[in-house]
Amino acid sequence: MTIRALSRPYPMAGGGPAIERVDLDIFRRTYFTHCLRCGFCADACCQHGTEVDSPAIERILAHADALENFTQTTRDTWFRDLRIDADFPGGSYRRTTVPDDRCVFHDRSGRGCQLHAFALVHGVEPHTLKPMLCTIFPLSYDDGLLHPSEEVQTGELICLGTGETLYRGVRAELAHYFSAAFVGELDMLERSA
């Protein structure tokens, strides 16, 4: 692990944590980036569920009636207890439940995330509903550090070793959440990594 400090903190758009440092492994490690074209993992990345920040939970619950119908689940089964954590927008999060070894929002009759699919079907911008940590996976962050997710670090992520770098695979998502200036600085670091 080689950590590099950024020239300044880059806070998340709309308020939230700031990224101040980067693990250069995000520019070195690779994975199969075209998830829904994959025929070998059965959405293994969804097996642990995810953390969803409090503002995102409010956005999800604003669509609860329609989402219950779409997902064939009930809102009282979606999330675990609230946890306080300054690394999340709103200062807290709830983890999704994991019935039958996949996130409650995993599409059991097909592939992928039902929150993302719901957004597309109903004309909602997907970033509004899909949890940020799912969107930037296989990267994660904590304490101001952007780094490979735990599944990458332990080698558990089944699609490691082929395709684009972790960074390139989610570069556009990082720009969405943290700004074009942020990815501009990461692009410079990438060239020297």
- Give residue-wise pLDDT tens across range 43-58: 777 788 999 999 999 9
Q: What is the pLDDT of residue 31?
A: 84
Rounded CA gap, 93 and 83, in Å?
5
Q: What is the pLDDT of residue 36?
A: 61
Q: What is the pLDDT of residue 15?
A: 77
- Give residue-wise pLDDT tens across range 127-155: 999 999 999 999 999 999 999 999 888 88
Rounded CA gap, 88 and 70, in Å?
27
Find, among 130, 127, 156, the residue nearest to 31 by Cα.
156
β-pair type (139-142, 145-148): antiparallel
Q: What is the pLDDT of residue 148?
A: 96
Q: What is the pLDDT of residue 34?
A: 73
pTM: 0.90
Low-confidence ranges of the chain (pLDDT < 50): none
